[in-house]
Amino acid sequence: METMIKKARAGDPLRVIDDIRMSPTYTRDAADLIRTVIAEQRPYGVYHVTNTGQCSWYEFAAAIFRLMGLKVDLSPISSTEFAQKAKRPSNSALMSSKLNGLSVRPWEEALGAYLKEKGHLS
């Protein structure tokens, strides 16, 4: 995220993948949820700790710039147009079904909180 902001502020045109879906997650929220899972002694197992919702990398970048009020030359591209060393699944969004009963905020709200904490928003 910080790299995208830096490039946007430099006026660099940005081409961002729009055909891979993911679950953006604020590390502060993840840490708080993990702490709660441990404190409540929830059942042993795999927990997908993410903010709610999903988006593409392009949608994520667009949300960053929209919240910051940045005008950016942003274009969506296909993952086949972007050289990657590792093959990525087209949908890596995670479901947090084991967190039932715990409040998890949407990724858009968490993004705003992150940007405020880092001083990108007032």
Residue 60: which pLDDT band, with cuts at 50, 70 and 90? very high
* Whole-structure pTM value: 0.89
CB 86 within 8 A of CB 74: no
CB 14 within 8 A of CB 4: yes
Q: How far lies 3's CA from each of 38, 39, 85, in Å?
A: 33, 35, 19
Cα–Cα distance, 84 to 111 (Å, whole number): 25
Residue 45 has pLDDT above 80, yes or no: yes
pLDDT of the residue at 49: 92
